[in-house]
Structure 1
Amino acid sequence: MTDWQPIRLPITTGNTVWIGGHGVNLPGVTSGDPSIAAASSAVPDVPENTMIAGTAKY
Protein backbone atom coordinates (compact mmCIF):
# COMPACT_ATOMS: atom_id res chain seq x y z
CA MET A 1 0.00 0.00 0.00
CA THR A 2 1.34 3.44 -0.88
CA ASP A 3 1.34 6.48 1.36
CA TRP A 4 -1.50 8.87 0.62
CA GLN A 5 -0.51 12.50 0.03
CA PRO A 6 -2.99 15.40 -0.02
CA ILE A 7 -3.18 17.65 -3.07
CA ARG A 8 -2.23 21.16 -2.03
CA LEU A 9 -3.00 23.74 -4.69
CA PRO A 10 -4.30 27.29 -4.20
CA ILE A 11 -7.97 28.14 -4.69
CA THR A 12 -8.52 31.65 -6.09
CA THR A 13 -11.88 33.44 -6.01
CA GLY A 14 -12.85 36.90 -7.24
CA ASN A 15 -14.59 39.57 -5.18
CA THR A 16 -18.15 38.74 -6.23
CA VAL A 17 -18.18 34.94 -6.34
CA TRP A 18 -21.11 33.04 -4.84
CA ILE A 19 -20.70 29.33 -4.03
CA GLY A 20 -23.90 27.54 -3.04
CA GLY A 21 -24.26 25.28 -0.02
CA HIS A 22 -22.24 22.04 -0.09
CA GLY A 23 -20.27 23.30 -3.11
CA VAL A 24 -16.82 21.78 -3.59
CA ASN A 25 -13.89 23.82 -4.88
CA LEU A 26 -11.40 21.46 -6.49
CA PRO A 27 -7.66 21.99 -5.84
CA GLY A 28 -6.11 24.63 -8.11
CA VAL A 29 -9.46 26.22 -9.10
CA THR A 30 -9.84 29.85 -10.16
CA SER A 31 -13.33 31.41 -10.05
CA GLY A 32 -13.80 34.54 -12.16
CA ASP A 33 -15.34 37.79 -11.00
CA PRO A 34 -18.39 37.71 -10.96
CA SER A 35 -19.44 34.05 -11.07
CA ILE A 36 -21.90 31.66 -9.40
CA ALA A 37 -21.53 27.97 -8.51
CA ALA A 38 -24.87 26.36 -7.66
CA ALA A 39 -25.46 24.29 -4.52
CA SER A 40 -23.79 20.86 -4.40
CA SER A 41 -21.59 21.56 -7.44
CA ALA A 42 -18.07 20.22 -7.88
CA VAL A 43 -16.39 23.35 -9.18
CA PRO A 44 -13.73 23.38 -11.92
CA ASP A 45 -12.29 26.70 -13.18
CA VAL A 46 -15.16 29.17 -13.62
CA PRO A 47 -14.77 31.97 -16.20
CA GLU A 48 -15.95 35.53 -15.47
CA ASN A 49 -19.70 36.24 -15.78
CA THR A 50 -20.60 32.53 -15.59
CA MET A 51 -22.98 30.34 -13.59
CA ILE A 52 -22.29 26.61 -13.30
CA ALA A 53 -24.29 23.76 -11.79
CA GLY A 54 -23.73 20.03 -11.39
CA THR A 55 -20.49 18.09 -11.63
CA ALA A 56 -17.87 18.61 -14.34
CA LYS A 57 -16.81 15.67 -16.51
CA TYR A 58 -13.07 15.12 -16.72
Structure 2
Amino acid sequence: MSASDKISNATEDLKGKATEAVGKATNDDSKVAEGRAEQASASAKKAGENVKDIFKK
Protein backbone atom coordinates (compact mmCIF):
# COMPACT_ATOMS: atom_id res chain seq x y z
CA MET A 1 0.00 0.00 0.00
CA SER A 2 1.49 3.29 -1.02
CA ALA A 3 1.70 6.17 1.39
CA SER A 4 -0.73 8.24 -0.67
CA ASP A 5 -3.31 5.43 -0.52
CA LYS A 6 -2.93 5.23 3.26
CA ILE A 7 -3.37 8.97 3.59
CA SER A 8 -6.37 8.96 1.28
CA ASN A 9 -8.06 6.16 3.21
CA ALA A 10 -7.33 7.80 6.57
CA THR A 11 -8.71 11.09 5.29
CA GLU A 12 -11.88 9.42 4.05
CA ASP A 13 -12.28 7.65 7.41
CA LEU A 14 -11.85 10.90 9.34
CA LYS A 15 -14.29 12.69 7.04
CA GLY A 16 -16.82 9.92 7.70
CA LYS A 17 -16.34 10.19 11.45
CA ALA A 18 -16.82 13.96 11.29
CA THR A 19 -19.96 13.62 9.17
CA GLU A 20 -21.35 11.03 11.57
CA ALA A 21 -20.61 13.28 14.56
CA VAL A 22 -22.35 16.24 12.92
CA GLY A 23 -25.33 14.01 12.17
CA LYS A 24 -25.52 12.85 15.77
CA ALA A 25 -25.22 16.41 17.09
CA THR A 26 -28.01 17.66 14.83
CA ASN A 27 -30.18 14.52 15.03
CA ASP A 28 -29.82 14.08 11.27
CA ASP A 29 -30.03 10.34 10.63
CA SER A 30 -29.09 10.72 6.97
CA LYS A 31 -25.79 12.40 7.93
CA VAL A 32 -25.08 9.65 10.44
CA ALA A 33 -25.69 7.04 7.75
CA GLU A 34 -23.58 8.98 5.24
CA GLY A 35 -20.69 9.16 7.72
CA ARG A 36 -20.88 5.46 8.46
CA ALA A 37 -20.93 4.69 4.73
CA GLU A 38 -17.80 6.79 4.20
CA GLN A 39 -16.06 4.94 7.02
CA ALA A 40 -17.10 1.57 5.60
CA SER A 41 -15.80 2.58 2.18
CA ALA A 42 -12.44 3.57 3.66
CA SER A 43 -12.25 0.28 5.56
CA ALA A 44 -13.01 -1.72 2.42
CA LYS A 45 -10.34 0.14 0.46
CA LYS A 46 -7.84 -0.48 3.25
CA ALA A 47 -8.65 -4.18 3.26
CA GLY A 48 -8.24 -4.35 -0.51
CA GLU A 49 -4.86 -2.65 -0.32
CA ASN A 50 -3.77 -5.07 2.41
CA VAL A 51 -4.67 -8.01 0.17
CA LYS A 52 -2.62 -6.48 -2.66
CA ASP A 53 0.33 -6.11 -0.28
CA ILE A 54 0.15 -9.79 0.66
CA PHE A 55 0.32 -10.90 -2.96
CA LYS A 56 3.22 -8.56 -3.77
CA LYS A 57 5.47 -10.54 -1.42
TM superposition score category, shorter chain reference? under 0.3
Which structure ranks higher in relative contact order (CA pairs < 8 Å, sequence separation ≥ 6)?
Answer: 2
Structure in which a larger fraction of residues adopt strand = 1
